[in-house]
Structure 1
Amino acid sequence: MLMQRGLPLPAPELPAGITLRPQVPSDAEALGALYWDSYPKGAAAVDLEDAVEEMEGVFAGEYGTPVDAASLVVADADGNLLGCIQTVTSPPWEGIPAVPFVIELFVHPEHRRRGLGTVLLLSAAQACHDSGWESMALNVQEETAADASQLYQRFGFVEITPVGAGESPSI
């Protein structure tokens, strides 16, 4: 389900003991492990090695041009990555609006329901707005539709028809 929302969104409130920073290429291995742990097995990657390769592909621009200021991680006081949002422009899929597009938003299962996904989403939206963008878009996968849709709808994201297409892109 393709969704879009005008900007700005509310300002994020960072939970105590959590840091927020842009992701960097040296995070690829830790992000791959987090990605692997965050989705049902086989839904996002076939194994841990594939998950790391997916993250390396994000940094290499395989899924669009990364928006560095809106591609963020949250970490605990020890620097362990707990969640991530990855935002790009010009993704390779048809039907995506020409706005910043969230290709991934994931939080480790042990750290969900603590507001980390909200912090990531609102922080990325703020970065996009600060860069002059008027909206952002994302795609909700069936595997995460229930939880993800609630988060996005709470902040006013609405389902849209893909640009020039009759059905949602497969991402």
Structure 2
Amino acid sequence: MSEPSEAGCGGWNSSGCTGTQYCPPRCPRFVDKQGARWTIRPAQAGDADRLEEMYDAFGPTDRAQGIPPATDHERVSWIEMLLSEGHNIVAEGPNGLVGHVAYTPVDGDRPELAVFVHPEYHDRGIGTELCKHAAAAAVEAGCEAIELHVERRNRAAITVYRRIGFEVVDDELDMRMVLPLDDPIASRVRAPPAER
């Protein structure tokens, strides 16, 4: 861990932070729309049980395109697959994990993104921040773009994705959206808090 004088940020008030070598590719501190503090960090193997707990709270209306899977066995297998084959990032607070974003395959030029936020924490900006972290990580990994599929009736998610910079490329059954990871998006998702 670094000395406080080397950290360069003001703790939870990071509005003046110009970036440090300890928090690339994006600042891990996030304060949501309600003022709650979250740490956005890469998932670890030990997070599997905590992700299972988070996904246990998802009901039928919280699922899209069959994910997260409804049965315990399928959900555990799905989480294990994501943790072993994907790039995973979680949102963590005092009560545990409340958000998860993953893209897979990690070595693809255009991996597919999936983002989920615990139902009790919707509309706070957590999903948006997770998407920006995934985009920043994908830029660092050399990906050309990331894509996702979203149900056309999910207008709130589509609005969020468009604000981030995703573009609709197909909308026959569900919407397929792509976020190109060249500038200005590549610079914007990796910018330190003072430059946002």
TM-score using structure 1 length: 0.68
The number of residues matched between the two structures is 142
Between the aligned partners of 2:100 and 2:76, the Cα distance in structure 1 is 14
Structure of greater Rg: 2
Which of residues 57, 81, 85 is equivalent to 2:97?
81
- Kept in 2, the 8 Å contact 1:31–1:52? The answer is no
SS in 1 for 2:156: helix
- Kept in 1, the 8 Å contact 2:109–2:144? The answer is no
What is residue 58 of structure 1 aligned with on the other side?
Answer: 82
Which of residues 24, 47, 58 is equivalent to 2:44?
24
Q: Deviations over 1:66-89 (max 9, x none)?
A: 23xxx20001135x0010001112
The residue correspondences of 1:35-50 to structure 2 (distance < 5 A) are 35-40=55-60, 43-44=66-67, 45-50=69-74
Shift in Å, 1:155:
1.7
The residue correspondences of 1:44-123 to structure 2 (distance < 5 A) are 44=67, 45-61=69-85, 66-67=86-87, 71-78=88-95, 80-89=96-105, 98-102=109-113, 104-123=114-133
Between the aligned partners of 1:83 and 1:116, the Cα distance in structure 2 is 7
Which of residues 145, 148, 154 is equivalent to 1:138?
148
- Kept in 2, the 8 Å contact 1:33–1:48? The answer is no
Closer/same/farther in 2, CA of residues 113 and 167 from structure 1, 3 Å limit? closer
Q: Deviations over 1:24-52 (max 9, x none)?
A: 22211221232232352674323234322
SS in 2 for 1:124: helix
SS in 1 for 2:110: coil
Between the aligned partners of 1:131 and 1:105, the Cα distance in structure 2 is 19
Q: Which has the higher contact order (CA 8 A, sep 6+)?
A: 1
Q: Which runs of 5+ in 1 are unaligned?
A: 1-10, 92-96
Alignment root-mean-square deviation, CA: 3.1
Q: Which runs of 5+ in 2 are unaligned?
A: 1-25, 176-196
TM-score using structure 2 length: 0.60
Between the aligned partners of 2:130 and 2:73, the Cα distance in structure 1 is 25
Q: Deviations over 1:54-108 (max 9, x none)?
A: 10122233xxxx23xxx20001135x001000111279xxxxx841221x20001
Moved >4 Å (runs of 4+): 166-169
